[in-house]
Amino acid sequence: MIQMIIDFAFKIIVVVAVFHLSKTLGGVTSIVDGNPLDTIKHELDNLTFIDQRLSVVYPLIQKFKNRIISDPLNITKSWVGSDICSYTGFYCDNPPDNLTAITLASIDFNGFQLTAPTLDGFLDQLPDLALFHANSNFFSGTISSNIAKLPYLYELDLSNNLFSGPFPSSILGMNTLSFLDIRFNLFTGSIPPQLFTKDLDILFVNNNNFIQKLTEILGSSHIFYLTLANNKFYGPIPGSIAKYFSGLSEVLLLNNMLSGCLPYELGFLTETVVFDAGYNLLTGPMPFSLGCLKKAEVVNFAGNLLYGGVPEVVCAMANLANLSLSDNYFVQVGPICRGLIKKGVLDVRNNCIRGQPEQRSAVECMAFFSKRKYCSYKQTYHLPCLSPGFSDSPMGLVVLLAEVVVKEVELQSRF
């Protein structure tokens, strides 16, 4: 009981302290003395606005300003008077429905470090807003379903805040949205598959706590830029991957919980410059088809459970600048790959490759290879593209294939 009273008293002290802090920081209109809404209404009577649309948003801004509990950069100091278009972070323009009117068209709070418990009653009430960027603040709470009623909003950036709870499904109702960035928040649960059928060009959902099967979120998406890294997506990479990521120059799947064998169809990601599936639970041999990623510069499979030989055709890719295969169970590299190791392009540390430095111990390799492998080699050596020196001489492939098989038989008998 006494503990409860102490806790309660402590909470009151914190609340009062926060209010005083907010009064000293950024000249926030007083919350404790009198009713702030009355104050705002009173101010409104004495102000003249260049457009009636601005007088509508004025009280919303002031109400939001009252909710800000920390403003270390003194941003809100400029949020006074009728000239909303000159407030720091606020930008005016002509609305699409009336090109002679002036309205609040975009908000850019990027890096302002503002703390507020919610954006409800603010963001979702600004009728002409086209862009809302609020990267790197301390906004939290949930996103109001009213956001779907904003007719012009097409860019929404809430990245690097403290939003939590399930994916804000109200976003699904926004028909104009083309850019959605909710990276670096604390969202959990799953992403509704409908999101991927929307007309989004860019979608960043990385660095949240989404837990979901990868195959569930790959709908009929034609998103131009999609990042899924650093969540808890699980399950295999589907063979249909190229259909979903075909236009993407960066496929970022790193730091999830993806498992299963690598699909042959990865070789159809012909536009991919960066393919990063590092630190998952992917297994199986590396398909030769990866050698068809003609634009690939960075390929990362480090920290998985891949085994077999590193295909020479992959090491032979013309634009390759960084191939990370460390922390797997590869057993062999050919001459082209060895050349890349020398140049510092290919990293094979902590594998099971005899003759290479910094490999796993024989015991570790033995333990891995003694477990049953279920990935089929059926399409591993199939090359769906022309690759100079490889498709020209299928014998080269056959020889390499034989080498790898011999090597693995050798290894398995060795362990």
Ligand X SMILES: *[C@@H]1O[C@H](CO)[C@@H](O)[C@H](O)[C@H]1NC(C)=O
Task: Classify residue 405 by its DSSP letter.
Answer: H
The phi and psi torsions of 264 (rounded to 5 degrees) equal: -55, -35
Residue nearest to ligand X (CB): 322
- Position 349 contacts ligand X (CB under 6 A): no
Size of the site for ligand X (CB under 6 A): 7
Closest separation in Å from C-beta 254 to ligand X: 8
Binding mask 274-293 for ligand X (x = CB under 6 A): --x-x---------------
How many helices and strands, by DSSP H and E, does the chain display? 9, 22
Q: Kindly list the distances between the CA atom of residue 109 and the CA atoms of 28, 56, 132, 143, in Å, as whole numbers in the listed order.
A: 17, 20, 8, 17
CA distance 248 to 300: 16
Is the dihedral angle over the CA atoms 283, 288, 289, 295 positive or is it negative? positive
CB of 375 to ligand X, least distance (A): 23
Q: Which residues contact 295 (CB under 8 A, 6 or more apart)?
A: 249, 270, 271, 272, 273, 319
Q: By CB under 6 A, which span of 14-22, 97-105, 196-204, 298-306 interacts with ligand X?
A: 298-306
Nearer to ligand X, 107 or 252 (CB): 252
Closer by beta carbon to ligand X, 62 or else 255: 255
Question: Mask: binding to ligand X, 5-24, rule CB under 6 A, as x and -?
Answer: --------------------
Q: Please, which residue, 202 or 298, has the CB nearer to ligand X?
A: 298
Give min distance, CB of 339 to ligand X, in A: 16
- Cβ distance to ligand X smaller for residue 260 or 278: 278
Pick from 76, 324, 332, 351: which binds ligand X (CB under 6 A)? Answer: 324
The CA-based angle 374-375-381, given to 5 degrees, is: 150
Output helix, strand, coil percentages for the chain, rounded to the nearest 5.
Answer: 35, 20, 50
Q: How far is the CB of 50 from ligand X (least distance, A)?
A: 51
Provide the minimum distance between the beta carbon of 347 and ligand X in the complex, in angstroms, as a whole number.
Answer: 7
Q: How far apart are CA 271 and CA 257, in angstroms?
A: 25
Distance CA 186, CA 209 (A): 6
Least spacing, CB of residue 338 vs ligand X, in Å: 17
SS3 75: helix
CB of 298 to ligand X, least distance (A): 6
- Using the contact rule CB under 6 A, the part of the chain among 68-76, 200-208, 297-305, 406-414 near ligand X is 297-305
- 376 Cβ contact partners less than 8 Å away, ≥ 6 residues apart: 261
Q: Is 373 exposed, middle or buried (0-12, 13-18, 19+ CB in 10 A)?
A: middle
Binding mask 214-253 for ligand X (x = CB under 6 A): ----------------------------------------
Site for ligand X in 300-319 (CB under 6 A): 300, 302
Which residues sit opposite 193 in a β-bridge?
none
Binding window for ligand X (CB under 6 A); candidates: 20-28, 125-133, 259-267, 296-304? 296-304
Strands 202-204 and 131-133: unpaired
In the complex with ligand X, the residue whose CB is nearer, 80 or 298, is: 298
Shortest gap between Cβ of 301 and ligand X (angstroms)? 9
Calpha distance 156→106 (Å, rounded): 10
Burial 56-87 (b: 16+ CB within 10 A, else e): bbbebbbbbbbbbbbbeeebbeebbebebbeb
Find the shortest distance in angstroms from Cβ 341 to ligand X. Answer: 12
CB of 324: closest distance to ligand X in angstroms?
4
CA–CA separation, 256 vs 349, rounded Å?
21
Nearer to ligand X (CB atom), residue 171 or residue 346 = 346
Stretch that binds ligand X, among 59-67, 135-143, 163-171, 294-302 (CB under 6 A): 294-302
Q: Among residues 55, 145, 188, 322, which is the contact residue for ligand X, using CB under 6 A?
A: 322
Q: Is 278 exposed, middle or buried (0-12, 13-18, 19+ CB in 10 A)?
A: buried
Q: How far is the CB of 322 from ligand X (least distance, A)?
A: 4
List residues near ligand X by CB under 6 A. Answer: 276, 278, 298, 300, 302, 322, 324
